Homo-oligomer: A and B are copies of this chain.
């Protein structure tokens, strides 16, 4: 029998599942359209059918468990709670419902925590006990590992560094506060920064030819790569705010490394160079030089499935 784990990444639009072996090889994948199932019971049926279909494709596979990354996924309770981007309202006892269909251990968390677990089991954080993963996408998610364990806190929702405040009374955040890190250090934040600079500065820029609704972090990174000075300034400003968030996280948990993951991290050295410079400048002196700023070691297209599966592998390999 070959032991495998199912990794499931539930998103507002798509749900991607895969079977993952102990070495992080993905043996099969399937996709569901999340929005096709406004009733949670229908979704659970479709998901369990999908997992069983993948298991039947190869002989002798033994399912050890199912790991799930979902918006507002609660590790302690196995629930999805009050997720704004999903049709299922209230508190969904997701793990319990799924276990009624497939009787194996089911563990849940949110996508950023799953990314951190993936980094630890299959990625660049192998062997590290203290590190942080920041996922720089539309927002900024974070997964924090201390003493080799994901930090869930008393509520199960710990690790929301995107909502630490780096600019008091700063930009409006979707969470209801102002000045949260994710309003600056995310794809959306970078676009906002460019719009502000376009409003403030007189200099010419490639970006003046792009309608605000068409502006993306990718186009801004391309403009920066071609030495557009306004785009470069926007990258620098973003890096400075991200570094402020990292410096505050370091005084808290003194991680060995902070991994950057997701769309914005693809900007590469254009982002990493100024981030490292500003972290060095802003960090409390006793921590200077103690924390590495690294690119995630997990391939982005498989990250969610690997991370979710790692929730189970982390338990079984102990």
A237 to B34, CA, bound (A): 47
Closest chain-B Cβ to A202's Cβ sits at a distance in Å of 26
Stretch at the interface among A7-15, A146-154, A260-268: A146-154
Are A153 and B253 CB-contacts (below 8 A) given A147-B147, A168-B167, A176-B285?
yes
Closest chain-B Cβ to A34's Cβ sits at a distance in Å of 21
Q: Which of A247-270 contact B (CB under 8 A)?
A: 247-249, 251-256
Are B282's CB and A164's CB within 8 A? Answer: no
Q: Is A244 part of the contact surface with B, judged by Cβ < 8 Å?
A: yes
Stretch at the interface among A155-163, A211-219, A225-233: A155-163
Are B249's CB and A252's CB within 8 A? Answer: yes
A287 to B285, CA, bound (A): 31
Q: Which of B129, B149, B284 contacts A154 (CB 8 A)?
A: B129
Are A166 and B164 CB-contacts (below 8 A) given A146-B151, A284-B177, A290-B155?
no
Name the B residues within 8 Å of A176 (CB-CB).
284-285
Q: Is A242 part of the contact surface with B, judged by Cβ < 8 Å?
A: no
Q: Which of B149, B159, B244 contacts A252 (CB 8 A)?
A: B159
Are A163's CB and B251's CB within 8 A? Answer: yes
Q: Is A1 part of the contact surface with B, judged by Cβ < 8 Å?
A: no
Closest chain-B Cβ to A14's Cβ sits at a distance in Å of 24
Are B154's CB and A254's CB within 8 A? Answer: yes
Name the B residues within 8 Å of A155 (CB-CB).
254, 286-287, 290
Are A165 and B282 CB-contacts (below 8 A) given A154-B254, A157-B254?
yes
Are A284 and B153 CB-contacts (below 8 A) given A168-B244, A252-B252?
no
Q: Is A115 part of the contact surface with B, judged by Cβ < 8 Å?
A: no
Closest chain-B Cβ to A282's Cβ sits at a distance in Å of 7
Closest chain-B Cβ to A96's Cβ sits at a distance in Å of 22
A159 to B248, CA, bound (A): 10
Are A153 and B254 CB-contacts (below 8 A) given A147-B147, A168-B244, A248-B248?
yes
Q: Is A144 part of the contact surface with B, judged by Cβ < 8 Å?
A: yes
Closest chain-B Cβ to A181's Cβ sits at a distance in Å of 9
Q: Which of B72, B163, B165 contacts A244 (CB 8 A)?
A: B165
Name the B residues within 8 Å of A147 (CB-CB).
146-147, 149, 151
Are B168's CB and A154's CB within 8 A? Answer: no
Are B157's CB and A286's CB within 8 A? Answer: yes
Closest chain-B Cβ to A177's Cβ sits at a distance in Å of 6
Name the B residues within 8 Å of A166 (CB-CB).
168
Q: Is A318 part of the contact surface with B, judged by Cβ < 8 Å?
A: no
Are A253's CB and B151's CB within 8 A? Answer: yes
A91 to B67, CA, bound (A): 45
Name the B residues within 8 Å of A128 (CB-CB).
154
A sample of 8 cross-chain residue pairs with beta-carbon separation below 8 angstroms, ordered by A number, consists of A130-B154, A130-B158, A156-B254, A161-B252, A165-B248, A166-B168, A176-B284, A252-B253
6 shortest A-B CB distances, which residue pairs?
A153-B254, A158-B254, A154-B256, A160-B251, A164-B248, A163-B284
